């Protein structure tokens, strides 16, 4: 099974990279393995849990289903780049305030998904948040706290703006 | 005000929301090799031939381990997840059994090579469905008696005005923590250092060191952050042993993370149960006799009884109670405890039966339970260490608004949506483990707790400092915790809802002793916390360290249980009757609460597990081949955000003077008990259809 | 696996002709899983994402949706929401927000069955993965299997929610081929079950879906989609249904109804449609028409419930499309 490598240039958290990758590698594998950004988590590697959610060109996607080779020119935001070093995004702060995590493994994906959920305008009610956050599973089942956090973050962002 | 009982923010919250909390797969070790398992595609038979030639041609391949070249393991000490050791012989007992371990310089290379390992099997017809082989049932003894009996059940049933006798089923379920289990084994000059996703580092060390013939002091197990366990990471499983053996053999560091599919067969699962419950009662619902019998599948090589009737032994006042537990061996992997084992599946049966009794007797379900309230444990005869269940029924019913319920089925609706309200009792045995802790105070005033417990999401990193700070009277932010390492004082496993009471009591003991020693060194009868560092200076000490510990020696003259009252509302569309939970309220009797914030998350998390048990979770097995049908998260359904409505958890104010030095019992599992039957009872109330099986699916209500 | 980027539709067709096992990739939400699970091992993958097959526009009496439009964008598009509500509803019920941000309209219609035997992590008998190896679901677990049209070779169901809505709306696919474009009604895109190991679509190797055309009419404008599933979200359908109904003077003058989760392809209820034409908008006539349409259902041992569930879901969606609750 000969391995084919190719170069891909993409921006991650505002920094440009050109990486030589296996043609079969996913964005998840490149972020974790090549760039050392291990905040993006592999939960199922089949697009069924949402733990690997990242933002690509501002939209939430699953990095485990994104073939890295197709990401030429992409602008990727991972959990590490959501807020300036040492600072927290309002969604991150809301997750802390509402105890919206337990084991923490799904948390980066939940946070990024929540950031996009708010940006999309899908957070006007708890019910809407539940539906539009359903791509992110949490086996510890911190769901009620996550929904509270997203709802509160939405208000905080509106009030802060 | 005491820092105990304060809802402090989780200490690891910031690390977790920024993605900086390191899990096993995140650790960077130079030169680490990657391991991938090859699994059996048959459930019963033997390997006829295994050929690694093609795999060994992959660039970067290091070794293909099979039963032919794997080191022979020594006699296992401790508690392995399964005693049936893998890759030691050619016998196959279940589908998914590891048959090769491929190690390469890159993960992609290891995956490529794993596909090229050629295996031929001699296949035998597997025994798959335990329900078709109930004639093969066996009695086993694990940690509890399989059978108990008090009073004369036969006489009680003969005297009963009302008899309820039903058969119940619960489904096979999997833990599926979001982080699949994995191990990074470092070989350091003859010593083995395992970074492991485990709930019990010491347990792993015991098993691995004995299997590999290494003295315990040459094996160290650490865990930084563990992405959930729920029991799946409670014991040492074959992957840890094989990864460690590979590292030792190759004298290199090897990491293996289970792909999601192997989290279905690489460690245990919660077995399905077939249960029979017979209740005999007076006309007013007062119980005269209970018989509860349960059968579950186990593996060919190991025994795992699901003591489904465990809760029945203790929950209601009743003069005659018989319980029995049986297993049937099938060609599947061995089950293991899963969040709310035993009572979790068992109370589904008992509490649906109680609802049937309430209907026949014409008694409100809460009132029925109050009429049968147990003041002492009905099987052991012992008093309870502490019990506030009566208060829980009251608070739960009030918060839920139970009084507005109309008793007749199909009597509550919202347009074409039927609404049902159901309730159930929760009960969970309190487990306790011996634990040790060390507490140090330094000249700068900082306090350091050392104990080898694990962080799997429960909140220990926040709770243990609260306990020490309270005992010493120092601000909690002055207290640090070092954990997750077998080089530290030994703590019990993070399971059985036992960490707070066990490890917490050890921390309390060490901190209390430290304070006493400081007072002694100070030479005065009183010493204020502000003066601790003065004492150290006075005595010329840079720091002072005291070891403490706790073991569950006292209190055995009590029955120790966690209790709860669970209330659920379901909504079922009349035309397309897919049951959905719209509200759930639980109130619990769990002893003293150390941190209300993390405790509440544990309890609501448990309730949501109960929603999964009631409506979704069903790990179906192919009846022909014995393989799990959907080793993934799209076929094995756990609740999503949209399945989880408003969930509320409350507790009764309580201090258990017997279960632990802290006054606490446990919150990790009881929340997952009683929810399934409360939902099933609500479905009956909504639809008039009595379902005696979980998960409840649309086909049962059409 | 070689990887190439297509610069134009014709470039894509030229490149895919280079290898008989070459695959196009757009969102990747299917192909990446096939590669990981060993369902596919293409020697060449051609990236379509640089192609300009985008846009949602009205062209006379049809709405034309570019094949590379993302599911989320189509679902959010004002014209789609207004004029093709069943399409918007089907898309919003599909997968998860993340996957809807990745998956494309063309790719969605090409997704393969979610039958657990087909998707197994290790090879099991499955004629779709290995023609001739048998169908495990036939004797195995058939809770999710087909109830209509199936032959012994395969009892799997089609997974796309979108295809169900588009089928009820008489959508047409525009397919680019080496010899020029051709247009295929969706109803003919998925072949019937007469060939046991036949292809799952009529799209040939070397052909590319470039657009979907959806005719606009009154019925389309009040079309509805319903999905029944165990989990409240993020799950494939047990049964789904779409309906487009036109009513004049209290009677149904036109009805188009499709079911999902019941057959190897999205399934038109032709008999139901015929029975509805001219019928009053009443629960009893709709029930009777749906029952007639499902007369040929043949459930397996674990999925008898699907016949009744399909009946109820279809009746409910027709009622909704017809203006009832």
- Can you list the alpha helix ranges (DSSP code H) found in B473-531? 499-522
Contact with chain B for residue A115, Cβ under 8 A: no
Contact with chain B for residue C122, Cβ under 8 A: yes
Nearest-CA distance C237 → chain A (Å):
15
With CB atoms and an 8 Å threshold, state whether C141 touches B620. yes
Contact with chain B for residue A107, Cβ under 8 A: yes
Q: Give the pairing type, strands C267-268 and C251-260.
A: antiparallel
Per-residue pLDDT reduced to its tens digit, B387-396:
999 999 999 9
Tell me, what's the pLDDT at B1?
A: 65
Per-residue pLDDT reduced to its tens digit, B522-543:
999 999 999 999 999 999 999 9
Q: Considering CB atoms only, which of B226, B597, B639 is closest to A99?
A: B597
Residue bearing tokens 């707790």: B449
Q: Considering CB atoms only, which of A45, A59, A135 is closest to C36?
A: A45
Tell me, what's the pLDDT at B143?
A: 78
Tell me if C115 sits within 8 A of C126, measured CB to CB: yes
With CB atoms and an 8 Å threshold, state whether B620 touches C309. no
Torsion from C-alpha of C295, C301, C302, C307, nearest 10 degrees: 10
Contact with chain B for residue A36, Cβ under 8 A: yes
Checking if the pLDDT of A146 tops 50, the result is yes
Tell me, what's the pLDDT at C325?
A: 42
Measure the CA–CA gap between C147 and B157, rounded to whole angstroms. Answer: 46
For C139, the token pair is 């004797």
- Count contacts between A and C (CB, < 8 Å): 82
B396-425 residues touching C, CB cutoff 8 A: 415-416
> Could you tell me which chain A residue has the CA closest to the CA of C98?
A61
Nearest-CA distance C150 → chain B (Å):
20
Q: Give the pairing type, strands B580-589 and B561-573.
A: antiparallel
Checking if the pLDDT of C147 tops 60, the result is yes
Residues in B closer than 8 angstroms to A104, CB to CB, are 12, 15-16, 21, 225, 227, 457
Tell me which of A61, A106, A120, A143 to substitute to probe the interface with C (most C C-beta atoms closer than 10 Å).
Answer: A61
Burial zone of C251 (CB within 10 Å; 0-12 exposed, 13-18 middle, 19+ buried)? middle
With CB atoms and an 8 Å threshold, state whether A99 touches B600. yes
Contact with chain A for residue C32, Cβ under 8 A: yes
Tell me, what's the pLDDT at A156?
A: 86
Q: Considering CB atoms only, which of B457, B605, B638 is closest to A137?
A: B638
Tell me the β-bridge partners of B165: B278
Nearest-CA distance A26 → chain C (Å):
8
Nearest-CA distance A159 → chain B (Å):
22
How much is the average pLDDT of B492-497? 93
Q: Is the ipTM of this complex over 0.95?
A: yes
With CB atoms and an 8 Å threshold, state whether C309 touches B702. yes
Per-residue pLDDT reduced to its tens digit, A57-78:
999 999 999 999 999 999 999 9
Q: Subunits with at least 3 CB pairs below 8 A relative to chain B?
A: A, C
Residues in C closer than 8 angstroms to A117, CB to CB, are 97
Tell me, what's the pLDDT at A3?
A: 73
Nearest-CA distance C119 → chain A (Å):
11
Q: Considering CB atoms only, which of C2, C45, C98 is closest to A61?
A: C98
- Residue B380: how many other CB atoms lie within 10 Å: 14
Tell me, what's the pLDDT at B144?
A: 83
Q: What is the pTM of this model?
A: 0.98
How much is the average pLDDT of C33-56? 95
With CB atoms and an 8 Å threshold, state whether C235 touches B634. yes
Contact with chain B for residue A96, Cβ under 8 A: yes
Per-residue pLDDT reduced to its tens digit, C200-249:
999 999 999 999 999 999 999 999 999 999 999 999 999 999 999 999 99
> Could you tell me which chain A residue has the CA closest to the CA of B26?
A38
With CB atoms and an 8 Å threshold, state whether B642 touches C313. no
> Could you tell me which chain A residue has the CA closest to the CA of C48?
A70
Helices and strands (H and E) in chain B: how many: 13, 24
3-state secondary structure of B325: strand
Checking if the pLDDT of B678 tops 60, the result is yes
Q: Give the pairing type, strands A75-77 and A5-12.
A: parallel
Tell me, what's the pLDDT at C324?
A: 63
Q: Considering CB atoms only, which of A25, A104, A129 is closest to B16?
A: A104
With CB atoms and an 8 Å threshold, state whether C3 touches A4. yes
Nearest-CA distance A123 → chain B (Å):
13
Measure the CA–CA gap between C243 and C80, rounded to whole angstroms. Answer: 16
Checking if the pLDDT of B255 tops 50, the result is yes
Measure the CA–CA gap between B652 and C15, rounded to whole angstroms. Answer: 70
Secondary structure (H, E, C), C235-273: CCCCEEEEEEEEEECCEEEEEEEEEECCCCCCEECHHHH
Tell me if C271 sits within 8 A of B682, measured CB to CB: no
Tell me if B620 sits within 8 A of B174, measured CB to CB: no
Secondary structure (H, E, C), B270-295: ECCEEEEEEEEECCCCCEEEEEEEEE
Q: What one-character DSSP code corresponds to residue C49?
A: T
Active-site choice (B145, B450, B669, B699)? B669
- Residue B75: how many other CB atoms lie within 10 Å: 7
Q: Considering CB atoms only, which of C120, C235, C325 is closest to B637?
A: C235
With CB atoms and an 8 Å threshold, state whether C28 touches A70. yes
Measure the CA–CA gap between C129 and C197, rounded to whole angstroms. Answer: 10
C172-231 residues touching B, CB cutoff 8 A: 226, 228-231
Residues in B closer than 8 angstroms to A33, CB to CB, are 107
Tell me, what's the pLDDT at B180?
A: 98
Tell me which of C101, C104, C118, C119 to substitute to probe the interface with A (most A C-beta atoms closer than 10 Å).
Answer: C101
With CB atoms and an 8 Å threshold, state whether C97 touches A72. no
Per-residue pLDDT reduced to its tens digit, B346-361:
999 999 999 999 999 9
Is B669 annotated as catalytic? yes
Per-residue pLDDT reduced to its tens digit, B196-228:
999 999 999 999 999 999 999 999 999 999 999
Contact with chain B for residue C315, Cβ under 8 A: yes
Residues in A closer than 8 angstroms to C99, CB to CB, are 47, 62, 65, 135
Residues in C closer than 8 angstroms to A66, CB to CB, are 28, 32, 102
CA distances from B147 to B318, B326, B608 (A): 17, 9, 31
Checking if the pLDDT of A2 tops 80, the result is no
Per-residue pLDDT reduced to its tens digit, B48-77:
999 999 999 999 999 999 999 999 999 999
Helix (H) or strand (E) holding B537: helix B532-538
Share of chain B above pLDDT 70, in %: 100
> Could you tell me which chain C residue has the CA closest to the CA of B626?
C140
For B146, the token pair is 């399989």
Measure the CA–CA gap between B114 and A109, rounded to whole angstroms. Answer: 30
Contact with chain C for residue B108, Cβ under 8 A: no
Measure the CA–CA gap between B376 and B373, rounded to whole angstroms. Answer: 9
pLDDT tier, A161 (very low <50, low <70, confident <90, very high otherwise):
low
Torsion from C-alpha of C267, C273, C274, C277, nearest 10 degrees: -170
> Could you tell me which chain C residue has the CA closest to the CA of B641?
C233
Total residues belonging to chain B: 702
């Amino acid at each position: 099974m000969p391995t084919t490598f190719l170069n891909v240039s993409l921006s991650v958290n505002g920094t440009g990279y050109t990486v030589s990758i296996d043609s079969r590698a996913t964005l998840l594998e490149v972020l974790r393995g090549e760039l050392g950004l291990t905040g993006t988590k592999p939960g199922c590697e089949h697009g069924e849990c949402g733990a690997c959610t990242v933002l690509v060109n501002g939209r939430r996607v699953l990095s485990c289903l994104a073939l890295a080779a197709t990401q030429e020119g992409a602008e990727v935001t991972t959990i590490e780049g959501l807020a300036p070093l040492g600072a927290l995004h309002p969604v991150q702060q809301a997750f802390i305030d509402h105890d919206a995590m337990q084991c923490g493994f799904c948390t980066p994906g939940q946070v990024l998904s929540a950031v996009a959920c708010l940006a999309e305008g899908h957070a006007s009610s708890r019910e809407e948040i539940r539906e539009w956050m359903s791509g992110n599973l949490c086996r510890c089942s911190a769901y009620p706290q996550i929904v509270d956090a997203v709802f509160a973050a939405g208000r905080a962002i509106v009030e802060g703006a | 005000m005491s820092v105990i009982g304060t809802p402090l923010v989780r200490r690891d919250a910031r690390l977790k929301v920024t993605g900086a909390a390191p899990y096993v797969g995140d650790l960077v070790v130079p030169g680490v090799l990657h391991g991938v398992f090859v699994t059996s595609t048959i459930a019963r038979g033997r390997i006829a031939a295994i050929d690694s030639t093609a795999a060994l041609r992959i660039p970067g391949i290091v070794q293909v381990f099979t039963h032919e070249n794997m080191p022979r393991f020594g006699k296992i000490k401790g508690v392995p997840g399964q005693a049936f050791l893998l890759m030691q012989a050619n016998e196959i007992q279940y589908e998914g059994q590891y048959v090769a371990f491929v190690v390469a310089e890159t993960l992609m290379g290891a995956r490529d090579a794993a596909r090229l390992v050629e295996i031929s099997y001699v296949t035998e017809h597997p025994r798959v469905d335990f329900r078709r082989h109930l004639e093969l049932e066996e009695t086993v003894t694990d940690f509890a008696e399989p059978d108990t009996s008090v009073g004369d059940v036969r006489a009680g049933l003969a005297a009963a005005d009302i008899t309820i006798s039903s058969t119940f089923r619960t489904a096979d379920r999997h833990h599926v923590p979001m982080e699949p289990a994995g191990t990074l084994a470092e070989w350091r000059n003859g010593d083995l250092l395992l970074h492991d996703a485990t709930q019990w580092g010491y347990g792993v060390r015991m098993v691995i060191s004995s299997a590999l013939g290494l003295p315990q002091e040459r094996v160290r197990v650490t865990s930084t952050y563990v992405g959930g366990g729920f029991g799946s990471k409670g014991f040492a499983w074959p992957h840890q042993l094989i990864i460690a053996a590979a590292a030792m053999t190759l004298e290199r560091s090897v990491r293996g993370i289970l792909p999601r599919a192997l989290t279905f067969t690489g460690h245990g699962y919660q077995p399905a149960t077939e249960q029979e419950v017979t209740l005999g009662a007076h006309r007013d619902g007062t119980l005269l006799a209970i018989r509860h019998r349960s059968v579950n599948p186990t593996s060919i090589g190991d025994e795992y009884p699901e003591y489904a009737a465990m809760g029945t032994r203790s929950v209601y006042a009743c003069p005659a109670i018989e319980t029995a537990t049986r297993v049937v061996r099938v060609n599947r992997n061995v089950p293991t405890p899963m969040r709310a084992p035993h009572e979790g599946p068992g109370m589904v049966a008992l509490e649906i039966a109680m609802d049937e009794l309430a209907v026949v007797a014409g008694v409100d379900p809460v009132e029925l339970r109050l009429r049968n309230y147990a003041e002492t444990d009905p099987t052991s005869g012992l008093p309870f260490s502490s019990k506030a269940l009566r208060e829980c029924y009251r608070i739960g019913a009030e918060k839920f608004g139970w009084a507005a319920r109309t008793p007749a089925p199909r009597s509550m609706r919202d347009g074409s949506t039927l609404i049902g309200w159901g309730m159930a009792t929760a009960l969970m045995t309190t487990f306790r483990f011996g634990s040790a802790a060390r507490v140090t105070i330094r000249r700068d005033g900082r306090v350091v707790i050392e104990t080898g417990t694990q962080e799997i999401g429960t909140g220990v990193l926040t709770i243990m400092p609260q306990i020490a700070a309270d005992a010493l009277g120092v601000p909690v932010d002055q207290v640090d915790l070092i954990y997750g390492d077998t080089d530290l004082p030994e703590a019990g496993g993070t399971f059985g809802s036992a960490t707070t009471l066990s490890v917490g009591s050890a921390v309390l003991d060490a901190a209390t002793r430290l304070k006493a020693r400081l007072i002694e060194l100070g030479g005065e009868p009183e010493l204020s916390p502000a003066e601790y560092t003065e004492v150290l200076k006075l005595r010329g000490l840079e720091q002072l360290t005291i070891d403490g510990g706790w073991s569950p020696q006292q209190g055995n003259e009590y029955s120790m249980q966690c209790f709860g009252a669970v209330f659920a509302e379901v909504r079922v569309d009349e035309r397309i009757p897919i049951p959905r939970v719209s509200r759930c309220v639980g109130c619990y009797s769990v002893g003293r609460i150390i941190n209300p914030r993390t405790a509440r998350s544990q309890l609501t998390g448990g309730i949501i597990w109960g929603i999964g048990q009631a409506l979704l979770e069903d790990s179906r097995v192919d009846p022909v081949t014995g393989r799990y049908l959907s080793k993934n998260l799209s076929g094995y359904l756990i609740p999503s955000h949209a399945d989880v409505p408003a969930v509320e958890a409350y507790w009764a104010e309580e201090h258990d003077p017997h279960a632990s030095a802290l006054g606490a019992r446990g919150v990790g599992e009881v929340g997952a008990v009683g929810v399934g039957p409360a939902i099933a009872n609500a479905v009956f109330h909504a639809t008039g259809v009595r379902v005696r099986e979980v998960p409840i699916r649309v086909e049962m209500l059409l | 696996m070689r990887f190439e980027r297509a610069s134009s539709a014709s470039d894509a067709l030229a490149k895919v002709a280079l290898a008989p096992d070459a695959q196009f990739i757009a969102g990747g939400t299917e192909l990446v899983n096939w590669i990981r699970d060993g369902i596919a091992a293409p020697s060449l993958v051609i990236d379509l994402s640089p192609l300009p097959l985008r846009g949602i526009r009205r062209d006379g009496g049809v709405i034309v949706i570019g094949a590379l439009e993302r599911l989320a964008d189509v679902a959010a598009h004002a014209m789609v929401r207004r004029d093709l509500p069943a399409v918007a509803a089907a898309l919003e019920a599909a997968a998860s927000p993340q996957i809807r941000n990745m998956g494309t309209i063309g790719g969605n219609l090409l997704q393969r069955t979610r039958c657990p035997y087909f998707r197994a992590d290790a090879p099991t008998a499955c004629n779709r993965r290995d023609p001739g190896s048998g169908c495990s679901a036939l004797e195995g677990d058939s809770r999710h299997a087909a109830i209509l049209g199936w032959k012994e070779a395969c009892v799997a169901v089609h997974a796309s929610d979108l295809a169900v809505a588009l089928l009820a709306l008489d959508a047409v696919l525009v397919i680019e081929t080496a010899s020029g474009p051709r247009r295929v009604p969706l109803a003919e895109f998925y072949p019937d079950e007469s060939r046991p190991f036949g292809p799952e679509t009529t799209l040939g190797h070397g052909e590319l879906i470039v657009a979907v055309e959806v005719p606009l009419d009154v019925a389309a404008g009040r079309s509805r989609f319903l999905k029944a599933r165990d989990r409240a979200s993020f799950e494939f359908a047990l049964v789904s249904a779409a309906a487009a109904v036109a009513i004049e003077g209290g009677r149904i003058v036109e009805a188009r109804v499709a079911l999902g989760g019941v057959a190897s392809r999205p399934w038109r209820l032709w008999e139901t449609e015929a029975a509805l034409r001219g019928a009053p908008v009443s629960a009893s006539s709709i029930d009777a028409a749906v029952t007639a349409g499902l007369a040929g259902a043949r459930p397996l041992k674990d999925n008898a419930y699907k016949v009744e569930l399909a009946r109820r879901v279809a009746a409910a969606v027709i009622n909704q499309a017809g203006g009832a609750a």
